[in-house]
Amino acid sequence: MSKKPKPTACLVLADGTVFYGKGFGAVGETTAELCFNTAMTGYQEIMTDPSYAGQVVTFTFPHIGNTGVNPEDDETQDPVAAGMVVKWDPTEPSNWRAAEDLAAWLAKRGRIGIGGLDTRRLTRAIRQQGAPHVALAHDPDGNFDLEALVAKARKFPGLVGLDLARDVTCAQSYRWDEMRWAWPDGFPKLKDAKHKVVAIDYGAKRNILRCLASAGCDVTVLPATATAEEVLALNPDGVFLSNGPGDPAATGSYAVPMIQEVLNTTDLPIFGICLGHQMLALALGAKTIKMNHGHHGANHPVKDKTTGKVEITSMNHGFTVDAQTLPDGVQETHISLFDGSNCGIAMDNRPVFSVQYHPEASPGPMDSYYLFERFAEAMAARATA
C-alpha cells in the first residue's frame, strides 16, 4: 500500500488550528490576516490588488489557475497579497491569453500558495469567528516547527491601527493615459483629454486609472502623502481618492487634513473608491469600524438609495464607514444588501461622493461604470458654470 504524500505546506491559525496541504509558489513563511474571496474569476487581479496587503486570501472557487496569468491582468507590478489558499492544486492554464502558469508566477514573485485545504471549513470559521491571524509556510521537505508558527501567528499585529497605504503607494508622481482594454488592440491611449484629474494613490488599481482615462481624464497620480498644496498646484478639474489597504483611521492621520483643506478651499469635484471612500468619510466627520470578516468577492448586491437600482459589485474591504456617524449635509447613497452596511456617501449640493465597492472591476459587468461618468459630468458642469 503506497504511503500518503507528506504535506509540503501548512496554514497555522493563532488559536493553534493547523491545516496541511501541498505547497506551490515560493518557499518560506509569511504571517498575515486570513480572509476569503468568493469570486469565480480574477485570481490574478485579486493577488495584485494593493488593497490585499497584509492578507492571505482563501479562494472559495476551486478552479484556481485555469486561465494562467498574463501581464495585462496585473493591477500593480507584483502580487501584494501575502499568499493564497485553494481547495485543489492549481490547474494547468487553458486560455489563449495565458503567458505563464500561476505557480511559477507566484514563485518568481515571492508569494506562497497552499492547495488541498477544506476551504469551505475555513470560510465558515472566518464567518463565525472573524478574520484570524495566521502563519503560512511552504517547505518542499515538509519540515515545520508548529510551535514557532503558532507563536508567529499570535505575534502578527493585525490590521487595526496599521497604515499600509505608505507601503503600496507610488514613490513619485506620474501621468496615466492608458484606457480600458478593447478588442482587438488591447489598451488604447487617451488622445483627447477633457478633464485634468489628480488621483491620490493609497494603493490604486490600474483598471481604476484606465476607467478615469476612458471617461476623458488626463490623470496625474500623486503619492498617498501628498499635501493639499501639491494637489492644487496642478490646477486639477477634480480629485480622485483611490482604493488601498490597512486601517483607514491610521492612513487618515495624514490623508484627512489634505482632503479637508481641498474641501474647504475649493469647489472641486471629489470621487473616492474603497479606502478613498473611507478617507472622504473621515474628512467629513464620520468614523470607520473594523468588520468581523469584511467583504471580498464579485457578487455583492448594492442598492443605490437615490434611484432604487441594485448593482452587482466587486468588493474588498475589512473596514467600513459607520453610517450612524455621518454628519448633517452628508447622505448615505448606497447600502449592501447582504448586511446593510454603508457602501456610498455624497455631500448635499456639492459634487463630492464616494463608494465602498469597486466600479472598475465590472462584475455586473457595467452596472457601476456610471460613477466615472458622473465624476466627468461634474467636472464638465463646473467648467461651464
pLDDT in tens, 342-385: 999 999 999 999 999 999 998 888 899 999 999 999 999 999 98
pLDDT category of residue 5 using cuts at 50, 70 and 90: confident
CATH number of the domain within which 21 lies: 3.50.30.20
The reply to whether 108 and 210 lie within a common domain is: no
pLDDT of residue 183: 87
Domain end position, chosen among 136, 155, 174: 155
pLDDT of residue 366: 85
Q: What is the mean pLDDT of residues 191-212?
A: 97
| Residue-averaged pLDDT of the chain | 96
Q: Is 274 a catalytic residue?
A: yes
Residue whose cell numbers read 488550528: 17
pLDDT category of residue 2 using cuts at 50, 70 and 90: low
pLDDT of residue 185: 85
The reply to whether 145 and 212 lie within a common domain is: no
Residue 1 belongs to some domain of the structure: no
The reply to whether 79 and 15 lie within a common domain is: yes
Residue 222 predicted with pLDDT over 90: yes
The reply to whether 220 and 114 lie within a common domain is: no
pLDDT in tens, 239-290: 999 999 999 999 999 999 999 999 999 999 999 999 999 999 999 999 999 9
The reply to whether 378 and 234 lie within a common domain is: yes
Catalytic residue among 133, 295, 334, 358: 358
Show the domain range for 326: 165-384
Q: What is the mean pLDDT of residues 8-18?
A: 97
pLDDT category of residue 1 using cuts at 50, 70 and 90: low
pLDDT category of residue 50 using cuts at 50, 70 and 90: very high
Residue 303 belongs to some domain of the structure: yes
Residue 106 belongs to some domain of the structure: yes
Q: What is the mean pLDDT of residues 86-108?
A: 95
Q: What is the mean pLDDT of residues 127-142?
A: 97
Residue 306 predicted with pLDDT over 70: yes
Q: Is 211 a catalytic residue?
A: no
The reply to whether 143 and 187 lie within a common domain is: no
Residue 160 belongs to some domain of the structure: no
pLDDT of residue 28: 98
Residue 91 predicted with pLDDT over 90: no
Q: Is 360 a catalytic residue?
A: yes
The reply to whether 220 and 364 lie within a common domain is: yes
Residue 286 belongs to some domain of the structure: yes
Residue 299 belongs to some domain of the structure: yes
pLDDT of residue 71: 94
The reply to whether 249 and 281 lie within a common domain is: yes
Q: Specify the number of domains making up the chain.
A: 2
What percentage of the chain exceeds 90 in pLDDT?
Answer: 95
The reply to whether 181 and 150 lie within a common domain is: no
Q: What is the mean pLDDT of residues 11-36?
A: 97
Q: What is the mean pLDDT of residues 220-234?
A: 98
Residue 4 belongs to some domain of the structure: no
Domain end position, chosen among 93, 122, 155: 155
pLDDT of residue 31: 98
The reply to whether 254 and 359 lie within a common domain is: yes
Residue 190 predicted with pLDDT over 80: yes
pLDDT in tens, 145-171: 999 999 999 999 999 999 999 999 999
The reply to whether 101 and 186 lie within a common domain is: no
Residue 207 belongs to some domain of the structure: yes
Domain end position, chosen among 119, 135, 155: 155
CATH number of the domain within which 323 lies: 3.40.50.880
Catalytic residue among 35, 211, 274, 343: 274
Catalytic residue among 33, 45, 311, 360: 360
The reply to whether 50 and 150 lie within a common domain is: yes
pLDDT of residue 160: 96
User: Between 315 and 364, whose confidence is greater?
Assistant: 315
